[in-house]
Amino acid sequence: IEEDHLKMGSARSRDISFLAIEEDHLKKDEEFMISQVEEYGGQVLKYAHESLLGDRDFLLKAVKAESEMGQCLNISSDVLQYAHEPLKKSRSFISLAIGENGRCLKFASDELRSDRDIVLRAVKHTPSSLQYALGGLNQDKELLKAAKLWNTDYDEIMSQLPLSSQMRAVMSTRFSLGEDSTPQATIFGVLLRENFFLRDKAFLIYHPNAWNKASCDKDWTNYKHPCRGTYETCRMKDSSVKSGTPKEEESCWRYSYRFQLENAKKAKVGFMIQLVEGDKDHPSCHMLGDGQFIEVEMASMVGLKIFQVFQPFDDGGYDKDYTMHEVSKLALAIKEWLDRDCADMSITHVGNFIDDNSEIQSNVNQIPSILKKIREEEK
């Protein structure tokens, strides 16, 4: 899988500008343009003749050709980006396209991206295409299950296995299943389930964004708000939603999250995986979401190991999608930690932490002072 990613990255980084000066008859030639898609990916269609970009059959062949370049889960499809608008609105056409590559959903009309049946078809073929769903469908339970981000047998497993026999991981992400935010939690969550080591170890992975919750903080992620997920600190008026098993859509998200952290701590092996994404407004700078600070603090209070996985950047300092490469590095770091009897409880960095923007400083640098404060309060 990693080799496929490298091949695809190499193909997509090649200069295709030579196509701009090709003879017009070649840009109209279906066989020639398909051969270029097979070689360079769907991006070459920016140079295709307009007659091809409105040709339903040609575009479906191009989608199939690009899909056959590599079957990695987070390879996007650029073909439909250049299709004529009527085709992007065509239910029958989009249905056929996502049958070849679910990520074609990205360039479908907003109406189709809000269509549950269309989204489900895309997600069944390509789980990470859930990131392109609109209208709240990226929080739909059945779609989350189809994307393998919701364990259908999670509750059953939990009830049958004692905590002391379980292997648990708790994800810390931005609220990235939302349609207006980044897709990195979706991409990383899907890739985690494809990693042989983590799958072999049968880790139960809790994805907080897959559960509908409430908050006792009107701003949801205000760090200064006192709630840290305990009965004493939570400000929910109904005491029944801040004790025992969290109640979906009723319990405070901080209480629900701490509940998972404490169960991970009681498990045979447990830890937190925190995704640290690039700042969308400032290149070359990793930045935690506001809620992630609270999650780091609660994990430290519970005494849980933290692995921080940094989003990769390109040469220009702009963030790229997580790939199996980052997941493999995380799996290796976890394996080394297990081999050393889980002795090192300091935060482990996976990937390169970058803080090279002159306009802003990464808030990741504030974590040591937060942890120091917690240790002093514990003493």
- Give tens-digit pLDDT for 231-268: 999 999 999 999 998 987 799 999 999 999 999 999 99
pLDDT bracket for residue 15 (50, 70, 90)? low
Residue 60 pLDDT class (50, 70, 90 cuts): very high
Across-strand partners of 206? 170
Q: What are phi and psi of 229, to 5 degrees?
A: 80, 15
Strand partners, 319: 313
Structure tokens at 328: 């493999």
Average pLDDT of the chain, as a whole number: 84
Contact 326, 256 (CB under 8 A): no
**Residues 344, 333: contact at Cβ < 8 Å?**
no
Distance, CA of 237 to CA of 372 (rounded, Å): 32
* Cβ burial, residue 358 (10 Å; 0-12/13-18/19+): exposed
User: Going by DSSP bridges, is the β-strand pair 269-278/204-206 parallel, antiparallel, or unpaired?
Assistant: unpaired
Q: Are strands 269-278 and 286-287 parallel, antiparallel or unpaired?
A: antiparallel
Res 369: pLDDT: 87
| Residue 17, Cβ density class (10 Å: 0-12 exposed, 13-18 middle, ≥19 buried) | exposed
Q: Would the pTM of this model clear 0.85, i.e. be above it?
A: no
Helix (H) / strand (E) containing 378: helix 367-378
Higher pLDDT, 173 or 187: 173
Higher pLDDT, 26 or 117: 117
Count other Cβ atoms within 10 Å, centred on residue 70.
17
The band of 153, judged by pLDDT with boundaries at 50, 70 and 90, is: low
Residue 31's pLDDT is 92
88-109 residues labelled b (16+ CB within 10 A) or e (exposed)? bebeebbbbbbbbbbbbbbbbb
Question: Coil, helix or strand for 278?
Answer: strand
Residue whose structure tokens are 């140079």? 47
CA gap 173, 92 in Å, rounded: 35
Q: How many CB atoms lie within 10 A of CB 48?
A: 25
Most confident range (mean pLDDT) of 86-90, 195-199, 289-293 is: 86-90
What is the H or E stretch that residue 130 is in?
none
Mean pLDDT of 275-300: 92
